[in-house]
Amino acid sequence: MNTLDNNTVQVTIYGKSYTIKGKADSTYISGVADYVDMKMREVDDGSNSAQAEGKVAILAGMNITDELFSARHEKEKIVDRFDERIQALTDLIDETLST
């Protein structure tokens, strides 16, 4: 990682250097780039033959998107469980106060 200024970071993804500008902290940007690099290398390592860089990027993007969607779904399940518990406790409180 090479920080050029507060919001500009030089990163390497899949052997190529990119200058990334963003509002996020440089450490965060570097971490995201490292994760994308790792996912691309996982896709490439899982292949029996050398794949085109674009194909590797698309497959890595699909894998990352699957992780995101799975995490969102799990979060929704957790929120639903909390909502059910909150409703049960609210019902119990209302029932106790009305007696």
Q: Based on the number of CB atoms within 10 Å of its own CB, is 40 exposed (0-12), middle (13-18) or buried (19 or more)?
A: buried
Per-residue pLDDT tens digits for 54-70: 999 999 999 999 999 99
DSSP lists the bridge partners of residue 21 as 8
Percent of the chain residues past pLDDT 90, beyond the cut: 82
- Looking at residue 2, its pLDDT comes to 52
pLDDT for residue 83 is more than 60: yes
Instruction: Look up the pTM and report it.
Output: 0.76
